[in-house]
Structures are given as structure tokens and as C-alpha cells.
Amino acid sequence: MSIKLPIYLDHAATTPCDPKVVESMMPYFTDMFGNTGSRNHSFGWDSEEAVSKAREQVASLIGADPKEIIFTSGSTESNNLAIKGAANMYAKNPAGSENRGHIISVIHEHKAVLDPCKRLEKEGFDVTLLEPGQDGLVTRKMIEDAIRDDTILVTVMWANNEIGTINEIPQIGELCHDKGIIFHTDATQWVGKMPTNVKKDNVDLLSLSAHKMYGPKGVGALYVRRRRPRVRLIALQEGGGQERGYRSGTLNVTGIVGLGKACEICAQTMDSERERLLKLRNKLESSLESRLDVVQVNGHREKRLAHATNISFGFVEGESLMMALKEIAMSSGSACTSASLEPSYVLKALGVGDDLAHSSLRITMGRWTTEEEVDYAIEKIVEAVNKLRELSPLFDMHNEGIDISKIEWAAH
């Protein structure tokens, strides 16, 4: 069978829309275009009904009550609303004063969590950013050790977007409930792939995004717990008071319908999909590890999302590797900032050295990834790494048994 190039292996960045999702959205662009706020005619009622259905579909996927779902533009907004909204609501002291309360998060969170935390720090909150161990996991014990009398909010992602590691969310949630602390999780990479029950998993606030689970871009949701405890937030924006006043603005009905359908499909398919992708991921990793020397899988080996891997290749220059693999869409361990190529801060947080961080690939498979595509990727990666190593004098030295890390290079 011939392979269609380029191959897409970057599903943690975004996913294609499921055709069934697109189909469900189509009528809401044209015939059923009403504003849910139009309470006095059928166009408005139809849209309202569609949004209610989507609210149920989202709630059902995560074990919530539909009333607890707030539609947003995606996880960035959900995280901002959850973190700033809860911090300002439960602050110990009024705006403008010092010592407004303590917030706990982790240094390898997504920027959509870290930056709101930074903003709050400037506004009088004290933020502790924990450092995970080499395996990248965040445990209950780590949070327990960091909690203080003035801690008001803990925010820890469910699964990491670069290495796919899974944190101890139900245990951290239980701890937060015992201590009366609000608990938010950025579940962008988790929801739709793993079974979720916000009640049993002790989550108070949860962010999710449609485009990570075969839905459209620019739409997501925030789960806000209504009972035990009843969580309240200060809204980020004022206006028409939609979404219980938490998110003013005309609802993106088309996108919300797509999100709902995407959730429904994930609920039906996630178990079989996970099993299939785990086999492909294991094949990919074991093939690369058996055929190449100096290969390192980053993050905990077992406590990881099934479709994701992050692998570093020693003695390979990261950018050259990406150039050699242009026909396979993946993410590299280098983040392009305006002035420089920085190694990924997530990998650095695990203690991965700059060299290995630069030469890492994040490979994330999805609903339509085939075994042929994975086989093709294996061949191409092996070929590219071998070729680049042929040019590396350091790799020659490594092969001669010289420990590169012990060499004292002369400075001129």
C-alpha cells in the first residue's frame, strides 16, 4: 500500500476534525443560525436546544452535571478563567494589597497555566512552582509538602502535553478537598482519551479543548463544580451574562455543537482507540530502541498516555533531524523563541541535558494513524539518525568507548 505524505504524527498539537463532527456542525452555519439569547422565536430556541444537547454530551464524558459546564474559546481561556477567577474569588486580602493567598502549580505546566499564575504573582499572590522528578510525575506527596495555611488554589495538569505523563489527580484532589483548597486541572491532553469522572476524581475545575479531541478549534469548556464544594469564580469579562455570568459573549453555537459531538464520539471509541494506539506506540519505541544506540524515552515509562512518546537521540543535531524528517509532522524538543532556539522547558524540568532536549522528538498518534505510517516513520527516523551520526566526530569517540561527559575541552 502506498503511503500518503506528509504523515501527521502531531496529535498533541491539534487533531483533524472527525467528519461526523463536521457533519453535525453544518446546519448551524446556515439554516439554524439563531442566537441562543433570542428567547422569542424558533431560531433562538433551536440553537438553545443544540447547545443544551452539547452541554449534556460534554458533561457525560467527564461525569459532570450539564449545569456545571461553561463553554469557552478553548483551554487557554478555561485555564485563565479557572485560575484568575478562583484566585480572585478566594483571595485572603482585597485587590491592591499584599499576601492575597498562596497558589501551587508545577514548572512543566503549559504556558496557559504558568502565565496566569505569573500575572497573579504580580497582583499580590504568592506562587510556588514545584519541580517534578526525572520521571515528570506530580504526586500527592509533592503537593502535600507544599501546602501552607494560606494556600487557596492548586493547579496541576492531568497529562503533560510534551511527554504525556499522567499525574496523581484523584489523590491530589482528595488532599485539596480535605484541606478546603480549590483544585483545578488542565485536562486538555487527557479528556477524550482516558475515562474521567470529576466527582470520583475530586476535581473542582477542569479545562478541556475541542481541537485536541477531533473537534473544531476555538471552542472548549470549563467544568465548575456546583456541590461539595460549590465553587465560585470572578468572571474575566463582563457583558450579556451568558454561561451563568462566567463567560459573557454570544455563544459559538456551531463550535459548541462540534465539541459536543466530538465528546460523544470519544466516549464511544476511546477504549478501543487507546488499545490500538498503545500497540503502535510500543512498536515505534521498541523498534527505535533496538535499532539505534543512545536513545532515551523521556518521562515515566508506564504512567503515560498511550498515543504519545517523547524520544531523545544522542549525537544528533535537533534541527538537522527535523529537516531530514520533513515529510513526517512531529514536534521537536526545541521551542523557537524570537531570538534563539531554546531547548524545551518541560524536558529541562526533568533534568534532560540541553543536547538531548534539542534532539528530541514528540510523536503523538491519533484516530487515523495506520501501522504502515508508523513503520514508515520508524524507517525514516532510523535512516536520518544514522546518517547524521556518520557526520558526528563525537559519536565516533563514543563508539571508541570514550566518555564524552568526562572530556575537558580546551578553551581558546
Ligand X SMILES: Cc1ncc(COP(=O)(O)O)c(C=O)c1O
Active-site annotation, residues: 336
Cell of 388: 547524521
What count of residues does the chain have?
A: 412
Cell of 189: 491532553
- The yes or no reply on residue 165 touching ligand X (CB under 6 A) is no
Q: Among residues 11, 84, 110, 193, which is the contact residue for ligand X, using CB under 6 A? A: 110
Q: Whose Cβ is closer to ligand X: residue 251's or residue 316's?
A: 251
Least gap, CB of 23 to ligand X (angstroms): 22
What do you get for the CA distance between the two ends of the chain, in Å?
Answer: 55
- The yes or no reply on residue 189 touching ligand X (CB under 6 A) is yes
Which ranges of 63-110 would DSSP assign to H, the alpha helix? Answer: 75-89
> Three-class SS of residue 308?
strand
Least gap, CB of 116 to ligand X (angstroms): 11
Q: Among residues 47, 57, 76, 151, which is the contact residue for ligand X, using CB under 6 A? A: 76
Going by their DSSP bridges, the two strands 102-106 and 308-313 should be labelled as unpaired
Least gap, CB of 221 to ligand X (angstroms): 10
Going by their DSSP bridges, the two strands 220-224 and 69-72 should be labelled as antiparallel
Q: Whose Cβ is closer to ligand X: residue 78's or residue 101's?
A: 78
Strand partners, 335: 342
In single-letter form, the type of residue at position 74 comes to G
Least gap, CB of 40 to ligand X (angstroms): 34
Query: For ligand X, what does the binding mask look like between residues 214 and 243, x meaning CB under 6 A?
Result: ------x-----------------------
- The yes or no reply on residue 188 touching ligand X (CB under 6 A) is yes
Tell me phi and psi for residue 292, to 5 degrees. Answer: -125, 145
- The yes or no reply on residue 70 touching ligand X (CB under 6 A) is no
Q: Whose Cβ is closer to ligand X: residue 167's or residue 209's?
A: 209
Segment contacting ligand X by CB under 6 A, of 186-194, 333-341, 371-379, 394-402 = 186-194
Q: Among residues 80, 155, 209, 254, which is the contact residue for ligand X, using CB under 6 A? A: 209
Going by their DSSP bridges, the two strands 205-209 and 182-186 should be labelled as parallel
Segment contacting ligand X by CB under 6 A, of 46-54, 80-88, 98-106, 183-191 = 183-191
Q: Whose Cβ is closer to ligand X: residue 112's or residue 295's?
A: 112
Q: Among residues 36, 151, 161, 167, which is the contact residue for ligand X, using CB under 6 A? A: 161
Strand partners, 145: none
Tell me phi and psi for residue 14, to 5 degrees. Answer: -165, 165
CA atoms within 13 A on the CB side of 325: 33
Binding residues among 30-49 for ligand X as defined by CB under 6 A: none
Q: Whose Cβ is closer to ligand X: residue 76's or residue 202's?
A: 76
Nearest-CB residue to ligand X? 74
Return the exposure string of 48-64: e unless at least 16 CB atoms fall within 10 Å of the residue's CB, then b.
Answer: bebbebbbbbbbebbeb
Q: Among residues 25, 83, 112, 120, which is the contact residue for ligand X, using CB under 6 A? A: 112
Q: Whose Cβ is closer to ligand X: residue 127's or residue 381's?
A: 127
Q: Do 380 and 138 contact (CB within 8 A), yes or no? A: no
Q: Whose Cβ is closer to ligand X: residue 73's or residue 296's?
A: 73
The number of beta carbons lying within 10 Å of the beta carbon of residue 101 is 21
- The yes or no reply on residue 191 touching ligand X (CB under 6 A) is no
Cell of 312: 531523545
Return the exposure string of 200-239: e unless at least 16 CB atoms fall within 10 Å of the residue's CB, then b.
Answer: ebbbbbbbbbbbbbbbbbebbbbbbbeeeeebebebbeee
Residues that bind ligand X (CB under 6 A): 74-76, 110, 112, 157, 161, 186, 188-189, 209, 220
